[in-house]
Amino acid sequence: MITAVTREVFAQTPQDQIEAALALGATRWEAVKTTVLPFGRSGYVSGAILGLGRALGETVALLIILRGTEQAFGWSLFDGGSTFATKIAGAASDLDDQYQAGAYLAAGLMLFLLTLVVNAIARTALIGTRRVHR
């Protein structure tokens, strides 16, 4: 996934900019460093975030499938069980209890906040790299 996105970003770099850098006497590495890498920085970071998310999602899904289902909560990461999302979806039909509904809403809010924080960190990393290279 990361390689495919990175290759596409490399291919999108304007050929005129690369040729201009080479015409001004830059070596091939200098042309890549000054034209290709700055042009596609957001694409590289996006590809890395997508790859990380996919790897984590597939790893967790595989772990849940292989380790069994619906057992008491254990403190080991390798005990298996369910994800927050599957617990919320499974309990959606019987959320009559006020405290149970509140607990599931809090779990959903935590998932949302975790996603928001990861995206904010990725955006901050992109903004920081743009300032460094300008």
Q: Both 60 and 95 in a single domain? A: no
pLDDT in tens, 25-36: 999 999 999 998
Helix (H) or strand (E) holding 41: helix 41-67
Indicate whether 125 belongs to any domain: yes
Give the structural domain span for 4.
Answer: 1-68
Q: Both 89 and 59 in a single domain? A: no
- One-letter amino acid at 65 equals I
pLDDT in tens, 69-94: 555 556 666 666 666 776 776 677 77
The total number of structural domains in the chain stands at 2
Q: Quick one: pLDDT at residue 22?
A: 92
Distance CA 76, CA 27 (A): 53
Residue after which a domain boundary falls, among 38, 68, 98: 68
Whether the Cβ atoms of residue 52 and residue 45 lie closer than 8 Å to each other: no
Indicate whether 75 belongs to any domain: no
Indicate whether 20 belongs to any domain: yes
